Amino acid sequence: MTIYYQQMTSPFGMVHLYATKYHLRAVLFKPWQALDKKDRVATSNSILDDTKTQLSEYFAGQRKSFNLPLDSHGTDFQKTVWQTLMEIPFGQTWNYGQLAEAIGNKNASRAVGAANGKNPVSIIVPCHRVIGSNGSLTGYAGGLKAKEWLLKHEGVI
């Protein structure tokens, strides 16, 4: 399968965008190591063009939600967590316990945290909106500076 790849500069560093012909597969802060380089084409397509446009609008404060076709690969549990992340509104945060409750298993905070950390579509699927129960900015694949920027941008902190 052909994977289209582009890089994009964000206010907090480079992001790496990956898509198939029809779906956005990943928005990552580091290159996708698991992707076989022979499958990657360093060119754009309409999905990546739309992604770059929508991310640029978001960074400029002109967009609060995204409308992109996603195709994230993970376990059923991970997909449930990622879908539930999409319910956290712009400008709000949930803690891991709230996210676990939202998926119907209030005792799954750790599993929810692990799934949150494996979200392949950063920013678009807003895993940055999940914080510690004490309000702390917990780990983030893009680093805490990126998470802090995103939450300040959304007016949370």
Does residue 64 belong to any structural domain of this protein? no
What residues are labeled active site? 127
> How does pLDDT run across 39-88, given as a tens digit for each residue?
667 788 999 999 999 999 999 999 999 999 999 899 999 999 999 999 99
Does residue 65 belong to any structural domain of this protein? no
Number of domains in the chain: 2
Write down the pLDDT at residue 29.
Answer: 93
Does residue 86 belong to any structural domain of this protein? yes
What length does the chain have?
Answer: 157
Domain of 42, in residue numbers = 3-59
Q: Burial, 131: exposed, middle or buried (Cβ in 10 Å; 0-12, 13-18, 19+)?
A: buried
- Shared-domain flag, residues 135 and 103: yes
What is the model's pTM? 0.93
- Shared-domain flag, residues 36 and 102: no
Asked whether residue 153 carries a pLDDT value surpassing 90, the answer given is yes
Segment holding 48, helix H or strand E: helix 46-59
CATH of the domain at 114: 1.10.10.10
